[in-house]
Structure 1
Amino acid sequence: MMNNKAYILLITLVATLGGLLFGYDTAVISGAEGALQAYFADNLNLSSLVHGLTVSSALIGCIIGGLLSGYCSNRFGRKPTLIIAALLFFVSSLGSAYPEFLFFTKGDPTIALLITFNLYRIIGGIGVGLASAVSPMYIGEIAPPSIRGRLVSLNQFAIIFGMLVVYFVNWGISKGQAVEWINDIGWRYMFLSEAIPALLFLILLFAVPETPRYLLSTNQDKKALHILSKLYDKKLAKATMLEIKKSYQGKHGQGTGKLFSFGKKIIFIGILLSIFQQFVGINVALYYAPRIFESLGAARDASMFQTIIMGLVNVIFTVIAILTVDKFGRKPLLIIGSLGMAIGMFGVAGMAFSNVIGVGTLIFIIIYTASFMMSWGPVVWVLLSEIFPNKIRGQAIAIAVAAQWTANYFISSTYPMMMEYSGGVTYSFYAIMSILSALFVWKFIPETKGRSLEELETLWTKSEKKSYELPMAK
């Protein structure tokens, strides 16, 4: 049985601040995007493609951070990697707000200033890439099997909550202000606001422990048992420690293993889970939300407010996922979500083809985002935290997360250019990807609810005749 539910929840909530900053950093651009176009692209006569690359520049850092997450989490530990991420968030928030600091005097924007701004955004992106991989990994390695889905899903809730918070912040900064002020000063305050949660995350991380699985992978048995004894009763703590140690030994050798130690299929599944999560187009809806609503005929203030409404819908349906992921399972939620996203995107595409813009379009966007938030948003992170065996988890999650951010960068940076060609075709593409994602889950994804991380390893080791079982935490 779990020994200290309050302790488990406390350290989970601290880890989810990495998710909150992930959401905050990726969504802060939604309020600043129009101002950045006016400040840089319009002043410097740059193309829509260059603007799209500027809006998506943090994603380059996310790819780098995702790739580095495996090395850092295995070399330094899960906790120190999250501390590094917090520091990067803090530096990026200050530098993105005032890229002139140290190198330039404030004046007309230049290409050099634009490059410096993008470099600071990339630094923040590296923090996002690290946190996006390691926060759910940390929670998954701490959480008891019976509630692992809910606890890892809290990280997605934190991501969406971070987005919602920054929607309010952006709205509050821009409300009642002249467009000229927003384009010159307001966007700076939006980026600067991230320094507050980044500093809080950094401070609180010093109060949480390292994960028992990392400690056992580095032969720190006494420390691991001490942490496990805080999570479970003594008998289950010892049994769990022995089972974890067994997973690090076995036929693949002691400690961490090679990436393909358990075959290529598991890596293939992790990468495609990540790619589909982005190719359905969710971050287009998040990054460009105010612009989408402005295209529906809303004024700038109104479009910011409609973005807040969408953020509230996202929070509500993420809560639904948290409440159902350990009850209904991962696979059914993903398939239902895919079908809902397809309906939403086909609806938006149909209205775009018909040149009909109105409340119906908003409703279809809400159907789409709600379907994502109750399924592919949280559940993919749950699966990535649990499907990979202990010996390759750090490396495999790094590859999957890097693939996810690469797909995110491709989809987000090409969106303005695709919309110039045809909005209907653009949204139809996301709808088709939603259908393909459902077929992928039906064919390839196993159900993982209620099983220990060590039990799940037998899904990928055909030589194991049957799963070994641990007492289920209740």
Structure 2
Amino acid sequence: MLKQGDGMIEQDENIDERPREKFIPQRTIGTAADRARRNLNAKLSNPLAGYSHAELRKQGRAFAMMHEMGDQADIRVFELGAVLAQSPEQFEDVAGLTPQEKEVLRHEFTHRWSQPWKMYAVIALCSLSAAVQGMDETVVNGAQIWYKHQFDIASEAYRDTWLVGLVNAAPYLCCAFVGCWLTVPFNHWFGRRGTIFITCCFSAIACLWQGFVSTWWSMFVARFALGFGIGPKSATVPIYAAETAPPAIRGALVMQWQMWTAFGIMLGYAADLIFYQVEDPVGIVGLNWRLMMASAMFPAMVVCCFVFACPESPRWYMSKKQYYRAYQSICTLRHHKIQAARDLYYMHTLLEAENSMKLGQHKLLELITVPRNRRAMLASEIVMFMQQFCGVNVIAYYSSEIFLEANFSPPAALAASLGWGVINWLFAIPAIYTIDTFGRRNLLLTTFPLMALAMFFTGFSFWIPETSHSARIGCIALGTYLFGAVYSPGEGPVPFTYSAEAYPLYVRSYGMALATATTWFFNFVLGVSWPSLRNAFTAQGGFAWYAGWCIVGWWLVLLFMPETKNKTLEELDQVFSVPTRFHARYGLRQIPYFFKRYLLRKDVRPEILYEREIQPAQDAGFNP
């Protein structure tokens, strides 16, 4: 398998018998600055590696006394916490732990979802914030059936189709160019809880505002303001979840964002259906669609009411040098002080390592100029772009219009949209398991062809004659449902998860800001262009257009997206050190391997890209 020594890696000859291309991982060559970055990344992978237990105890004691963490009992738990932070799973080997403390730590690994009620409150807060996000996105789906007629933009004229698209996509225009980039200053000034509170206030006010507008341009302004709620919240909630959760459930909790966003999308469709039958009283026109648009304010108001009942992120407190408040916060999120001291000390060491990363240029430039970061950015941008251009939000935002065009009645169109929302949510649940077992790359390579087939099937179903009414509407609904079923475990959860782990920690916040801005920008492009695209291409051509993009996405993933499943920071440095052209050739070679292994049933072994032989630097001759 893997053998390392003197900076070299040797391949086991039994893995693959054909001749290999040879390369040097970027971590073995480069400028002094490159080597400094690689050393810092390695340090971040485990900043406590190499210390003895005695040294760690001394460090933990000094940390507790310097920041006045409490009495002698608290100093003792920090001494032990520093040792546990080095290898949490090896608690049985740590001298000085009481039987009760060992039982608490043992219980943590065997019953990972047994948490204090404050931790469950944080989970509820993050889930409900995600539901706010989803509902903000989809209540417009049903409301546009009515308000575009009231605003006199319902014709098939070129101007009107673009205005409908512009109004619907306004929040994502704000997210791409303003909202997402407010994440860093909002978090710096107000903390995680404060940012969630402010963004949910924006969402609630904007949703209520949408219920009172009377022109298309005032609806555009209200929905543009909604982007100030959607943008920073979409980046802050996963960060808050990651910083408060214990290690055993951190990945699963961060994954909840996508699943409960899908739940909120379903709630938006349900609200459309609930308020459909509301009739206009005297003096009010369009009460039904106004209630649909305003209904999304209620989950946002619930979040605002209890967000401050949850503790602030301990990591944020430490970034403000408020160490004792950080300790108080994390103690409410753990069963025992020994767990709190362990996790807080590890956060402290990571924060100190990150603060030491002063490499002489802006971190946004580091995303482009450093080859390892540039490859991570390429892969992240591909999955974020394809999350939109696979066509999912054509269905999310316009499914009611699509079903009406297929000759559904308005109630049937809203009910069919709700059915799609239910499927989108239910099929997101298995991704909590499959994303870490089947892998990010494999999920996308499996689901992109299926998404393309579902899109082709949906579009071609519009050619079924209207005389065959039941077959026509059944096939169109089936095509959209099949698309939702294969999208939800693949392109739904993978992009945010992948982007959050592909970048090194010292540029991760900037990489995530770029990633979220990318997905919201192309969300805007898709939302604003669909009405005109449908008129120009017809429904058949419009769905085929996005089916074609699903095929393009499959090739992009195959060639340029490395797998990141279950890899440490140090291992990710190796993965993203593979030159792009080597990875592209490796991806192409996977095609004949698949046919031989799974279709021809031959006994062939997979090629392991990251265990290749290494040539001296002068023989590599490549430019990243």
TM-score (norm 2): 0.66
SS in 2 for 1:358: helix
Unaligned runs of 5+ in 2: 1-104, 467-471, 578-609, 611-624
Task: Provide the C-alpha distance between the structure 2 equivalents of 1:219 and 1:266, rounded to a whole number of angstroms.
Answer: 32
Residue of structure 1 equivalent to 2:544: 428
Deviations 1:220-266 (A, max 9, x none): 44444554553582564255225423541444469x96124353333
SS in 1 for 2:453: helix
Unaligned runs of 5+ in 1: 100-108, 467-474
Residue of structure 2 equivalent to 1:385: 500
Using the TM superposition, give the Cα deviation of residue 155 of structure 1 relative to its aligned residue in structure 2, in angstroms: 1.3
Deviations 1:382-402 (A, max 9, x none): 223333333333322222111
SS in 2 for 1:41: coil
Residue of structure 1 equivalent to 2:56: none
Which of 38-47 and 437-446 deviates more? 38-47
Distance 1:238 1:85, change over 3 A: closer
Task: Provide the C-alpha distance between the structure 2 equivalents of 1:17 and 1:432, rounded to a whole number of angstroms.
Answer: 35
Amino acid aligned to 2:267: V
Is 2:400 the counterpart of 1:290?
A: yes
Task: Provide the C-alpha distance between the structure 1 equivalents of 2:132 and 2:310, rounded to a whole number of angstroms.
Answer: 18
Using the TM superposition, give the Cα deviation of residue 366 of structure 1 relative to its aligned residue in structure 2, in angstroms: 0.8
Match of 1:95 among 190, 209, 223: 209
SS in 1 for 2:493: helix
Distance 1:407 1:388, change over 3 A: same
The answer as to whether partners of 1:28 and 1:167 remain within 8 angstroms in 2 is yes
Deviations 1:371-417 (A, max 9, x none): 11111112222223333333333322222111111101111111111
The answer as to whether partners of 2:146 and 2:289 remain within 8 angstroms in 1 is yes
SS in 2 for 1:52: helix
Q: Identify which of structures 1 and 2 has the higher relative contact order when contacts are C-alpha pairs closer than 8 Å and 6+ apart.
A: 1
Distance 1:296 1:114, change over 3 A: closer
Is 2:161 the counterpart of 1:48?
A: yes
Task: Provide the C-alpha distance between the structure 1 equivalents of 2:425 and 2:140, rounded to a whole number of angstroms.
Answer: 19
Amino acid aligned to 1:321: A
Using the TM superposition, give the Cα deviation of residue 363 of structure 1 relative to its aligned residue in structure 2, in angstroms: 1.2
Using the TM superposition, give the Cα deviation of residue 78 of structure 1 relative to its aligned residue in structure 2, in angstroms: 2.6
Give the greater-gyration-radius structure (CA).
2
Match of 1:211 among 313, 330, 349: 313
Residue of structure 2 equivalent to 1:103: none
Task: Provide the C-alpha distance between the structure 1 equivalents of 2:572 and 2:457, rounded to a whole number of angstroms.
Answer: 41
Is 2:528 the counterpart of 1:413?
A: yes
The answer as to whether partners of 1:59 and 1:406 remain within 8 angstroms in 2 is yes
Task: Provide the C-alpha distance between the structure 1 equivalents of 2:189 and 2:564, rounded to a whole number of angstroms.
Answer: 28
Task: Provide the C-alpha distance between the structure 2 equivalents of 1:76 and 1:165, rounded to a whole number of angstroms.
Answer: 29
Task: Provide the C-alpha distance between the structure 1 equivalents of 2:285 and 2:413, rounded to a whole number of angstroms.
Answer: 16
Deviations 1:107-155 (A, max 9, x none): xx5xxx4322211111112201111122222223334455333212211
Match of 2:124 among 13, 29, 36: 13
Match of 2:225 among 118, 123, 128: 123
Using the TM superposition, give the Cα deviation of residue 318 of structure 1 relative to its aligned residue in structure 2, in angstroms: 1.0
Which of 428-437 and 409-418 deviates more? 428-437
Is 2:274 the counterpart of 1:169?
A: no
Which of 381-390 and 304-313 deviates more? 381-390
Is 2:412 the counterpart of 1:302?
A: yes
Amino acid aligned to 1:302: A
Using the TM superposition, give the Cα deviation of residue 11 of structure 1 relative to its aligned residue in structure 2, in angstroms: 0.8
The answer as to whether partners of 2:166 and 2:220 remain within 8 angstroms in 1 is no
The answer as to whether partners of 1:32 and 1:190 remain within 8 angstroms in 2 is yes
Task: Provide the C-alpha distance between the structure 1 equivalents of 2:201 and 2:253, rounded to a whole number of angstroms.
Answer: 25
Match of 1:77 among 186, 191, 216: 191
Is 2:431 the counterpart of 1:321?
A: yes
Match of 2:461 among 351, 357, 366: 351
Which of 128-137 and 298-307 deviates more? 128-137
Task: Provide the C-alpha distance between the structure 1 equivalents of 2:220 and 2:451, rounded to a whole number of angstroms.
Answer: 32
Is 2:543 the counterpart of 1:441?
A: no
Residue of structure 2 equivalent to 1:371: 486
CA RMSD, Structure 1 to Structure 2 (Å): 3.2
Which of 349-358 and 4-13 deviates more? 349-358
Task: Provide the C-alpha distance between the structure 2 equivalents of 1:121 and 1:173, rounded to a whole number of angstroms.
Answer: 20
Amino acid aligned to 1:233: Q
Which of 180-189 and 321-330 deviates more? 180-189
Task: Provide the C-alpha distance between the structure 2 equivalents of 1:461 and 1:243, rounded to a whole number of angstroms.
Answer: 25
Residue of structure 1 equivalent to 2:143: 32
The answer as to whether partners of 2:278 and 2:287 remain within 8 angstroms in 1 is no
Task: Provide the C-alpha distance between the structure 2 equivalents of 1:75 and 1:458, rounded to a whole number of angstroms.
Answer: 32
Is 2:449 the counterpart of 1:336?
A: no
Amino acid aligned to 2:298: I
Residue of structure 2 equivalent to 1:471: none
The answer as to whether partners of 1:153 and 1:379 remain within 8 angstroms in 2 is no
Distance 1:448 1:393, change over 3 A: same
Amino acid aligned to 1:431: A
Using the TM superposition, give the Cα deviation of residue 445 of structure 1 relative to its aligned residue in structure 2, in angstroms: 3.4
The structure 1 segments of at least 4 consecutive aligned residues displaced by more than 6 Å after TM superposition are 180-183
TM-score (norm 1): 0.85
Task: Provide the C-alpha distance between the structure 2 equivalents of 1:265 and 1:313, rounded to a whole number of angstroms.
Answer: 34
Using the TM superposition, give the Cα deviation of residue 314 of structure 1 relative to its aligned residue in structure 2, in angstroms: 1.1
SS in 2 for 1:206: helix
Deviations 1:276-328 (A, max 9, x none): 10011111101111111112221001111111111111121011212332333
